[in-house]
Structure 1
Amino acid sequence: MERAPLNDAIARGPEGGAAYWLKTEDGLRIRFGHWPGPAQPRGTVFLLCGRTEYVEKYGPAAVEFAARGYAMLAVDWRGQGLADRLLPNDPMKGHVGGIMDYQLDLKAVIKAAHELNLPRPFYFVGHSMGGAIGLRALQSTDHPFAAAAFSAPMWGIKVPTLLHPLRIIIAQLFGDSFMAEGFPPGMNAQTYVYRDSFEKNRLTRDPEMWAWLIDQAAKEPALTLAGPTVHWVAESILECEALAALPSPDLPCYCALGGIEKIVYTPSVHDRMGRWPGATFDVIPGAEHELMMEVPATRARFYDGCVAVFDAAGAAAAIKAESA
């Protein structure tokens, strides 16, 4: 497995982190980073990040999980971070060929985790778009995860209220039209942290975290991404509709949502969690979209919620193994 660059200075992750290049089944190069955690970790958390994100953004999350007993890895999905970009003539656009292609990326990461003999059990945290990728992965009977956690999962795409009833028709009409590789209304070629001020941003209420994200973008502009293409939006709308029709997995789950969430379509999250037996649903008052980049109290509440479910699932798996 070929080593890839990992910018420790901007990642602020635990010591001993490493990154690797991976090849997907369809020949694309993606990157994942791994932080080993404590001496005897209780498992490995797969951080399935959102659109625009990258490995280094989750160094502090690795610190938090390490403090709670877990190793962690994060991934640059195709089309973002240092992974292969999908529109060579305009690499800043957030694009994907088909939404199921992200499953090929996750499959490559799971394979690498096995090859590196990362600590078991495996768990995941799916943030935003990563929440849709993770929920889709759980539909497979051979997924390796013992429990799942979600942060503001993208289980519905927010569109203008008047257009919401027409979202499927719009996605089908425009997703592969002459507009497919253009920006949808309201999006442009700037990465988000440059496009909005702290006062207007919809990601975090923590000024220090916001400043850190701007610093990362300034020091490593190759990691950044701008708005999505029309095709990406259409693919995501159709995937969210497909996921909504599926039953909830039989798996322990923690899901958190900010009380003032403005990015994802929140009714879809409430609907899913209302039909996930035994799951914990935590709406955090006053929190924005990125719970792991929020004020310290919100971050602690989120990580503690994840680990409570992971610890319980790990203990149950150990008891089952002993009795087998």
Structure 2
Amino acid sequence: MSLPDGAEAGAPFFADVAGAPAGAEAVWLTAADGTRLRAVAWRHEAARGTAVVFPGRTEFAEKYGRVVQALVERGLAVVVLDWRGQGLSDRHPRNPMLGHVQDFRDYQQDVTALLDFATALDLPGPRYLVAHSMGGCIGLRTLLERAEFCGAILSAPMWRLQMRAATRELTSKMTQLANLTGFGARLMPGTRPGPTAHAGFQDNALTSDAATFGWCARQIEAHPELSLGGPSMQWTYAAIEEMTRLYIAPLPRLPMLVMLGDAESVVSSTAIRTRVAQMASGELLDLPGARHEIFMEGPETLARVWQRIDRFLAEVPTRREPSAPARPA
């Protein structure tokens, strides 16, 4: 396997809990700032393109095993990444359970490392972005600044958090002050120091499907090193700042399928609907009864999701429409 400079084979992948297809190739990548990242790839002998998966906050490659299986069944090669600060990638040195990043632009270093890895593997184009929540925030920045992708499939993208404008402004000021006074690496008040996604099925905001919720919980029970707690105050400030910049940035001119559940309570449905309405080639797929994690919903919702993704993949041009480079927002 040819690898980019700084990459190392032999990273673990916990196939026992992933539900992923065979053939996973897990490696360690090194971002430009020296951060070690885990990436996993699945090649396909007759691939008609490559899906690049951007997970959400707290997530890891194994959680997307079933998604990878569905993508491979559709004739795609796949690469997925553990973002810095979560999964098996490098974490906060003093508190590994803390979800922390100094600046959201740091994630673009992770993106570069992942796409260089896909290139080194000679994974075929066209490339499709498949992103969830925080991955949709990072992904929108990527689509604005890079031209590799011909289409994007976004699940509940984190373009604003579900909070009132006054609360958002207060939170931004409070977390900025915390960072300036040396407390940015403290846990965000009101969040959990332990695993956030699996406090209990009742009233959870992530999925309405008890079976899938249980499957996700068993993943981190079997491999607790994959779990993550709440975000730091600096992560929260950095996220709000990046979402604010992106909300006024020009939108990329490429086909985008955006999926949103009508029981969404984590990210702002209003912001998503507003931005999709402004897109040149955007479509919103409304999913009745679905919560935040669209790809972790029950069989009825997933049947609709994959049926629409099939149509999207069939309709997307294999070359991206030329457009003027976006100015950094």
Fold-level similarity (TM above 0.5): yes
Q: Determine whether 1:301 maps to 2:308.
A: no
Deviations 1:34-74 (A, max 9, x none): 1224x412111111000100011101001111222222221
Do the aligned partners of residues 145 and 161 (structure 1) sit closer, same or farther apart at CA in structure 2, a change above 3 Å counting?
closer
> Does the residue aligned with 1:92 lie in a helix, a strand or coil?
coil
Which whole-Å CA distance do the structure 2 matches of 1:181 and 1:168 have between them?
Answer: 15
Do the aligned partners of residues 317 and 200 (structure 1) sit closer, same or farther apart at CA in structure 2, a change above 3 Å counting?
same
Q: Which residue of 1 aligns with 2:18?
A: 11
Residue 226 (structure 2) aligned to one of 223, 226, 230: 223
Residue 83 (structure 1) aligned to one of 60, 76, 89: 89
> Does the residue aligned with 2:313 lie in a helix, a strand or coil?
helix
Query: 1:178-189 maps to which residues of 2 (within 5 A)?
Result: 178-189=182-193
Structure 2: unaligned runs, 5 residues or longer: 323-329
Q: Which residue of 1 aligns with 2:105?
A: 100
Q: Which residue of 2 aligns with 1:272?
A: 275
> Does the residue aligned with 2:180 lie in a helix, a strand or coil?
coil
Which whole-Å CA distance do the structure 1 matches of 2:173 and 2:269 have between them?
Answer: 21
Which whole-Å CA distance do the structure 2 matches of 1:162 and 1:232 have between them?
Answer: 19
Is residue 46–residue 74 contact of structure 1 (8 Å, CA) maintained in 2?
A: yes
Q: Which residue of 1 aligns with 2:36?
A: 29
Deviations 1:249-284 (A, max 9, x none): 110110001110011122211111110022111121
> Does the residue aligned with 2:38 lie in a helix, a strand or coil?
strand
Which whole-Å CA distance do the structure 2 matches of 1:302 and 1:84 have between them?
Answer: 33
Which whole-Å CA distance do the structure 1 matches of 2:94 and 2:174 have between them?
Answer: 26
Deviation at 1:33, TM superposition (A): 0.7
Residue 148 (structure 2) aligned to one of 140, 144, 147: 144
Residue 246 (structure 1) aligned to one of 245, 249, 257: 249
- Matched to 1:112, the amino acid is F
Which whole-Å CA distance do the structure 1 matches of 2:39 and 2:220 have between them?
Answer: 19
Q: How many residues end up aligned between the 2 structures?
A: 314
Residue 60 (structure 1) aligned to one of 54, 66, 73: 66
Is residue 209–residue 294 contact of structure 1 (8 Å, CA) maintained in 2?
A: yes
- Matched to 1:229, the amino acid is S
Q: Which moved more, 1:301-310 or 1:271-280?
A: 301-310
Deviations 1:85-105 (A, max 9, x none): 1x2111100000211000000
Q: Which residue of 2 aligns with 1:190?
A: 194
Is residue 126–residue 150 contact of structure 1 (8 Å, CA) maintained in 2?
A: yes
- Matched to 1:303, the amino acid is W
Structure 1: unaligned runs, 5 residues or longer: none
Is residue 93–residue 226 contact of structure 1 (8 Å, CA) maintained in 2?
A: yes
Which whole-Å CA distance do the structure 2 matches of 1:125 and 1:114 have between them?
Answer: 17
Q: Determine whether 1:176 maps to 2:176.
A: no
> Does the residue aligned with 1:138 lie in a helix, a strand or coil?
helix
Q: Which residue of 1 aligns with 2:132?
A: 127
Which whole-Å CA distance do the structure 2 matches of 1:271 and 1:189 have between them?
Answer: 34
> Does the residue aligned with 1:63 lie in a helix, a strand or coil?
helix
Deviations 1:172-224 (A, max 9, x none): 434433431122222021102442x2122111111111111111011111111
Aligned-residue Cα RMSD (Å) equals 1.9
Identity of aligned residues (%): 36
Deviation at 1:295, TM superposition (A): 0.6
Which whole-Å CA distance do the structure 2 matches of 1:232 and 1:290 have between them?
Answer: 21
